[in-house]
């Protein structure tokens, strides 16, 4: 699943591979992914001939800044990834967009569930887009302080496990990292998010930073998606080696050796340790 760390790894790849290149042609095979533009030709017109001047990110949207003060937004789908190729490479079945560059090379946008979005907007419009500003904090950017995090948790008053994956609290976190963050902090996801002590919020805050930064360093939990893979591969079935509890039902907890459980916590199937997460 594409979450914040995977989007950040994608942004880094784009920053080193395509910044400075000029788009010569674009092809989108799934028309429903195009938003804010009337149709695909209108999107192509806003991309073709433009040079890419930077790569940024907000939540799971990666953005290519174009030289004419516009931004190409790639809102990554729930199972999406980007690969870099020679211009002559044949796109596989999951590719929904191909960008070709003047200096040779191609970028393939893969989107297994076809639920991402592709569009170009003016730089000044980016902040106004409701899909990019759902109110949550981006823990890798913005001013992410434990106090700001604390007030978001109190405001919504949800069970903790639900609050961590709510876009009004944090951007781009899904089940994998929510499980890891709660385990790292040693807190149960069933707890009421508005009832944590200041010390517990700080532990959770440190857990968010630790887990997210480690995941970026490791290339994301679904790093295999950026390499060659087959249709049968399901990245969620194979726990990445740096994950401590997610996908590890029945294995001993790395902290207390009690078996890791898979249970419904606040409406979310969660991997957790019932002994040391309290
Ligand atoms: Zn444990």
The 10s digit of each residue's pLDDT in 107-159 is: 999 999 999 999 999 999 988 888 887 788 899 877 789 999 999 999 998 99
pLDDT at 229: 37
pLDDT recorded at residue 222:
60
Q: Are 229 and 156 in contact (CB under 8 A)?
A: no
Whole-number pLDDT of residue 239: 61
Q: Which CATH number is associated with domain 4-132?
A: 3.20.190.10
Average pLDDT over residues 58-79: 95
Domain 146-272: assigned CATH number: 1.10.8.50
Cα-to-centroid distance, 190 and ligand 1 (Å): 16
Contacts of 161 (CB under 8 A, 6+ apart): 178, 182, 189, 190, 265, 266, 268, 270
CA of 270 to the centre of ligand 1 (A): 14
Rounded to two decimals, what is the model's pTM?
0.85
| 90 within 8 A of 33, measured Cβ to Cβ | no
The CA 184 to ligand 1 mean position distance, Å, reads: 10
Measured in Å, residue 261 CA sits from the centre of ligand 1 at 10
**Mean pLDDT across the stretch 174-178?**
93
Q: For the segment 196-246, what is each residue's pLDDT rounded down to a tens digit? A: 999 999 999 999 999 999 999 988 876 444 433 333 444 444 567 889 999
Q: Which of 89, 109, 98, 117 is nearest to 26 (CA)?
A: 98
* pLDDT the model gives residue 231: 38
Ligand 1 mean position, distance from CA 242 (Å): 16
The proportion of the chain whose per-residue pLDDT surpasses 90, expressed as a percent, equals: 79
266 and 189 Cβ atoms separated by less than 8 Å: yes
For ligand 1, the distance from its centroid to the CA atom of residue 44, given in whole angstroms, is: 52
Find the 206 Cα to ligand 1 centroid distance in Å. Answer: 18
pLDDT value for 232: 40
**Would you list the domain boundaries of the chain?**
4-132, 146-272
* Structure token pair of residue 115: 């639920």
**What is the C-alpha to C-alpha distance for residues 219 and 32, in angstroms, rounded to an integer?**
29
268 alpha carbon – ligand 1 mean position (Å):
19
Q: Which residue has the higher pLDDT, 65 or 240?
A: 65
């Amino acid at each position: 699943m594409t979450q914040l760390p995977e989007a950040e790894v994608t942004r880094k790849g784009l920053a080193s591979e395509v910044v400075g290149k000029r788009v010569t042609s674009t092809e989108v095979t799934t028309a429903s992914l195009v938003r804010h533009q009337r149709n695909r030709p209108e999107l192509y017109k806003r991309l073709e001939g433009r040079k890419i001047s930077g790569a940024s990110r907000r939540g799971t949207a990666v953005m290519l800044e174009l030289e004419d003060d516009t931004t190409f937004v790639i809102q990554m789908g729930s199972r999406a990834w980007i690969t870099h190729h020679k211009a002559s490479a044949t796109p596989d079945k999951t590719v929904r967009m191909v960008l070709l560059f003047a200096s040779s090379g191609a970028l393939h946008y893969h989107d297994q569930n076809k639920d991402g979005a592709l569009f170009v907007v003016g730089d000044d419009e980016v902040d106004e887009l409701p899909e990019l500003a759902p109110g949550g904090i981006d823990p890798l950017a913005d001013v992410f302080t434990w106090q700001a995090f604390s007030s978001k948790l109190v405001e919504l008053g949800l069970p903790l496990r639900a609050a961590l994956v709510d876009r009004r609290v944090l951007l781009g976190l899904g089940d994998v990292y929510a499980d890891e963050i709660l385990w790292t902090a040693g807190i149960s996801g069933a707890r009421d998010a508005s009832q944590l002590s200041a010390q517990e919020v700080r532990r959770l805050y440190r857990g968010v930073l630790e887990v997210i930064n480690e995941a970026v360093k490791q290339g994301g939990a679904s790093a295999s998606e950026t390499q060659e893979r087959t249709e049968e591969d399901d990245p969620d079935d194979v726990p990445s080696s740096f994950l401590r509890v997610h996908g590890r039902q029945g294995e001993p907890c790395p902290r207390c050796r009690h078996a890791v459980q898979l249970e419904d916590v606040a409406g979310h199937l969660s991997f957790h340790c019932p002994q040391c997460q309290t």
